[in-house]
Structure 1
Amino acid sequence: MPFASHAQTLRVTPTGSASGACGAASPCSLQAVQAQVRALRAQGHDGITVQLQDGTYRLQQPLQFDASDSGAGGRPVRWQAAPGAHPVLSGSRLVQGTRDGALWSFALPSSDAPSSVYIDGQRRWPSRSEACPHCVVDAKGLSNVPRAILHSLQVGSLAVMHERWRDFRCGVVVVGQGRVDLAQPCWHNAALDSVKNGWSVASPVGKYYAGVDWFENLAGDPSAPGSYTVDTAHRVLRYRPLPDEATQVPSIELPALEQLLVLKGTPGAPVHDLVFRGIGFAGTEWRKPESVDGYVPLQAGYLVDGNSRTALPDNGEGMTRIGNAVDVEAGRDIIFDHDSFQHLAAAGIALAAGTHGAAVTNSRFTDIGGGGVFAGDTEGHPADPASKSSNIVVADNRIDHVALAYRDNVAIMAGFVNGLVIAHNTISDLPYSGISVGWGWDYEGDAPVQSSIHIVANRIERVMLQLADGGAIYTQAQSTPGTSCVVRNVADMRHSGEGNGIYLDEHSTYFDVKHNVVLGSWVSAWASWSGHLRITDNWTDDAGKPHNPGPTKLWSPNFTYLKTLPTAALAVQGAAGARDGQPEPALPIRVPTACPNP
């Protein structure tokens, strides 16, 4: 018969043995301790803690977890840092180089050009060309490319451009006379329109097209200090050091793995009752933009792929998502607490595909190429309702300087979720929106597609720094009446780009928006097909005029034209954002139906 044992602690080090008891005297490797945990759980033991000692754990392949790695109900297996330790799971390799005149030269394990490398913990980007504002779009690629730019290009260079809320990367496949041909279907999909919404306005064939921002992955030697080029034929990376790096011994961190940790259950056998605490996740690569699909987003890190498309998928279903360092699918009661996500090529963590009960709390996200946290799914009415994720908490995190490469990404992105708390996060320094929840625009009908969406007491500033048509907090889709709200947040847009403080876009329905401090902007609810919105008791220095009032939108009272904030608003401002010393969430993770008091 299964039995419950006394709590056990297993110990791991970066140089641990591949076998043994994983005890204090003989710590073992990550793979060995995972096998030990599975054996103990199969025997009925619970209360197991895996203690990671200090150091960098260089993974040769992602750690894969399934149902056999699960804890007992309410008695999770804990993977956590040893006291005072800061373990990092890394997907990068330390590569030593040589001096080559004014350059540093590094032999690469493959002909792939890395999307970035690191020197002393600082990201270095591939060389970039000048902008090409006069490049002309045609069905095959770009013409009117200046000779100086053409001379720097090679097959495999990437054309990078943005239009409105979308960011694009398509590879160069032919360098011709005054023009380049770009990879298909990437370039075809970038120009597609939707059936009725006119989304080509945010594409290279739209009226906002302003040319190519830059080309990267250039030929020849790097010209700008702090940048590199790759000779793919000879598998050599050449880096031009900054002046203060010139005397160092040449070495780089070369990201290699695309994922670090994958928790993948099934509906019948979910992966469950696991805690990851005090662990760093770093050093990932992401190769997809170099493929023929390139990087063509619909919105916020969800991508349009594949051949033979004649239009964009209007409701956004069937999208692929930007890669994540950590991925949770069909999870139950999974916690990430006091972790760090940094130096990542694509995104941080995704909690999706029928995950019910998950939390990301008290964690740090910075220096990330894509978004920070993804939650939920893109199918509004799945055949199996259990496949829609639920009961997800994202709270007390600090997220800044993300979406560095893929600028359409956001700090926290949620698709369709039944039960979501986004609370007390501090978010700043983003090219696009801060928080985005909901999906489907106006294509999902009149039935609710989400419920209990609680966006509470977040502090957001310095967003919309590059892209357009977004805001500090962005919502979509119809919620179950009486369950969803945006309350007690601080959206400070005074040092941001153009955008809305709170943006109730398209089919946003049944949201209460109350007791928020919105500075330098206001609330937008422009669409006539949005409704049942109560936008009251907010404070702003803006005129605070209703944006398309509509018969079911309540826009007053609000406190507008403020030169100074009243005491109640100052209290909201002081309480918003990440809090120190918050405890790890308790299991099971459940989101209450009703919103907290405004």
Structure 2
Amino acid sequence: AAANDPDVAIRRTGLCRIADNEISAAGRIFHSGVGVLSMNAFQMAIVHNHIHDLFYTGVSCGWEWGYHQNVSRDNLIAWNHIHDIGQGLLSDMGGIYTLGVQPGTVLRGNLIHDVHSAHYGGWCIYPDEGSSHILIEHNVCYDADRNAFHQHYGRENVIRNNIFAFGGEAVCTYSRKEPHRGFTFMRNILVTSSLPLWNKAQSDDAGSLEPEKERILCDLNLIFDTDAAEPTIHSRDRTFSLAAWREAGLDLHSLVADPGFADLEKRDFSLAADSPVFTLGFEPIDLSQVGPR
């Protein structure tokens, strides 16, 4: 892989800025064309872009599958508006997709929605193989046909202060069983309509979700089901209650409440000043700077 190439010149791509662009109608010849692709590069700033009408991923960052050395690090992917990707043609994609160990990489303030795959894998934010040491915060993600957030495998990522809403299978998922802490998931808002909060959760043969607390530190979130249904978690062929999730040490201090969005039907996620989520330390997400300036 390029990260291990003895030629140091291959490690010198970095300090580039891709900003304030309109990127659309891509993939008409090569359907898997990505809006912005940063493979082996460091200290990249991919910011304030409007990326839409693609058949594959919006922004892809990293090019090392797994936990090996990775040139990609200290990248900023922020304030992008990414929507209407996939469009039912291809599979296994994300509004933002990452690969490999990337200390210092930050995904912040992005608005991502309407991700639709052909057969599987339509996700808003998708840390794929080995994605590690990444900070994901202040993003608004909704209307993905699989999940608003999906981590395949990785370690020690921080997912905080995001709004994840309306995944077609569940709101969020972490799909590979691993023997270490995959991420910390705190002060997020999860919104669903009778579908699970999480799917592909880890459970044991005794019917407990205990294995999950080894993979995820999850607390101080706000959970809201628009149908007033009891929140659930799906694991293997079983559906678990929120109480069972909490018995495993997850979301012990989280709230089940209406966050008080301005107009959820129109996907206006502005919060009322008296929203209960602020008692958890949630910070308002300012989308006014999203997209080209």
* TM bracket, shorter-chain basis: 0.5 to 0.7
Match of 1:526 among 152, 160, 166: 152
State the one-letter code of the partner of 1:489: N
Q: How does 1:458-473 map to 2 (within 5 A)?
A: 458-465=80-87, 466-473=89-96
- The equivalent residue for 2:101 is 478
State the one-letter code of the partner of 2:287: Q
- The equivalent residue for 1:348 is none
Separation in structure 1 between the aligned mates of residue 185 and residue 17 of structure 2, nearest angstrom = 29
State the one-letter code of the partner of 1:555: F
- The equivalent residue for 1:554 is 184
Q: How does 1:46-57 map to 2 (within 5 A)?
A: none
* SS of aligned partner of 1:429: strand
CA 570–425 in structure 1, closer or farther in 2 if over 3 Å, else same: farther
* SS of aligned partner of 2:124: strand
* Pair 1:386-2:9 in alignment: yes
Match of 1:504 among 101, 119, 127: 127
- The equivalent residue for 2:291 is 577
CA shift digits 1:69-95 (9 cap, x unpaired) = xxxxxxxxxxxxxxxxxxxxxxxxxxx
Deviates more, 1:409-418 or 1:535-544: 535-544
- The equivalent residue for 1:566 is 270
TM-score (norm 2): 0.61
* SS of aligned partner of 1:380: helix
Q: CA RMSD in A?
A: 2.2
CA shift digits 1:348-400 (9 cap, x unpaired) = xxxxxxxxxxxxxxxxxxxxxxxxxxxxxxx1123132332111110110000
- The equivalent residue for 2:46 is 422
- The equivalent residue for 1:404 is 28
State the one-letter code of the partner of 1:572: D
Separation in structure 2 between the aligned mates of residue 524 and residue 392 of structure 1, nearest angstrom = 28
1:566 positional shift? 3.0
Separation in structure 1 between the aligned mates of residue 283 and residue 26 of structure 2, nearest angstrom = 29
1:477 positional shift? 1.2
1:538 positional shift? 0.4
1:427 positional shift? 0.5
Separation in structure 1 between the aligned mates of residue 172 and residue 94 of structure 2, nearest angstrom = 17
Compare CA radii of gyration and give the structure with the larger one.
1
Determine if contact 1:455/1:485 at 8 Å carries over to the other structure: yes
* SS of aligned partner of 1:399: strand
* SS of aligned partner of 1:572: coil
Determine if contact 2:63/2:72 at 8 Å carries over to the other structure: no
Determine if contact 2:111/2:139 at 8 Å carries over to the other structure: yes
State the one-letter code of the partner of 1:573: L
* Pair 1:455-2:82 in alignment: no
Separation in structure 2 between the aligned mates of residue 488 and residue 409 of structure 1, nearest angstrom = 24
1:471 positional shift? 1.2
Separation in structure 2 between the aligned mates of residue 569 and residue 517 of structure 1, nearest angstrom = 13
Match of 1:441 among 44, 59, 65: 65
Determine if contact 2:139/2:285 at 8 Å carries over to the other structure: no
1:453 positional shift? 1.1
Determine if contact 1:516/1:572 at 8 Å carries over to the other structure: no
- The equivalent residue for 2:55 is 431
Separation in structure 2 between the aligned mates of residue 440 and residue 469 of structure 1, nearest angstrom = 17
What stretches of structure 1 of length at least 5 have no aligned partner? Answer: 1-316, 318-378, 580-598
Q: How does 1:1-400 map to 2 (within 5 A)?
A: 317=1, 379-388=2-11, 389-400=13-24
1:576 positional shift? 0.8
State the one-letter code of the partner of 1:414: S
Determine if contact 1:424/1:578 at 8 Å carries over to the other structure: yes
1:440 positional shift? 2.0
Separation in structure 1 between the aligned mates of residue 82 and residue 60 of structure 2, nearest angstrom = 12
Separation in structure 1 between the aligned mates of residue 83 and residue 42 of structure 2, nearest angstrom = 27
Determine if contact 2:19/2:47 at 8 Å carries over to the other structure: yes
What stretches of structure 2 of length at least 5 have no aligned partner? Answer: 192-223, 225-263, 272-281
* SS of aligned partner of 2:135: strand
Separation in structure 2 between the aligned mates of residue 484 and residue 390 of structure 1, nearest angstrom = 13
Q: Percent identity?
A: 24
Determine if contact 1:510/1:531 at 8 Å carries over to the other structure: yes
1:429 positional shift? 0.3
CA 414–492 in structure 1, closer or farther in 2 if over 3 Å, else same: same
State the one-letter code of the partner of 1:578: P
Q: How does 1:539-550 map to 2 (within 5 A)?
A: 539-542=163-166, 544-548=171-175
Determine if contact 2:49/2:79 at 8 Å carries over to the other structure: yes
State the one-letter code of the partner of 1:412: V
1:546 positional shift? 4.4
Separation in structure 2 between the aligned mates of residue 403 and residue 570 of structure 1, nearest angstrom = 35
Separation in structure 2 between the aligned mates of residue 419 and residue 534 of structure 1, nearest angstrom = 19
State the one-letter code of the partner of 1:484: T
Separation in structure 2 between the aligned mates of residue 545 and residue 556 of structure 1, nearest angstrom = 13
CA shift digits 1:323-361 (9 cap, x unpaired) = xxxxxxxxxxxxxxxxxxxxxxxxxxxxxxxxxxxxxxx
Determine if contact 2:138/2:285 at 8 Å carries over to the other structure: no
Using CA pairs under 8 Å that are at least 6 residues apart, name the structure with larger relative contact order, 1 or 2. Answer: 2
